[in-house]
Amino acid sequence: MAAEYQMEIDKNLLVVTAIQGYAANHHISESEACKKFEQHGMFSLIRSQYDALHTQPLEETVNFAEDVMARYENV
């Protein structure tokens, strides 16, 4: 049970890191970044990629979010 709880905390950390990094890179508020992430299902996408992302530096989570969001913005 404790391991599952820690994994949920870690998944949330990845989401928060992605939001903060995306907001900083695009000079928008974290609130605005959250709205964009919510519109495009990024919360669940990042959480679903936990197994791969948690083995990488946190910057890779930001890069992952940037890549996915760029595709949405270019549509």
Q: Which residues contact 22 (CB under 8 A, 6 or more apart)?
A: 33, 36, 37, 62, 65, 66, 69
Please measure the distance between the N-terminal and C-terminal CA atoms of the chain and give it in whole angstroms.
42
pTM equals 0.90
pLDDT at 72 (0 to 100): 85
State pLDDT tens for residues 5-51. 999 999 999 999 999 999 999 999 999 999 999 999 999 999 999 99
Residue 65 tokens, joined: 């979010």
Contact by Cβ (8 Å): 64, 49: yes
Contact by Cβ (8 Å): 18, 61: yes
CA 35 to the chain's CA centroid: 12
59: three-class secondary structure by DSSP = helix
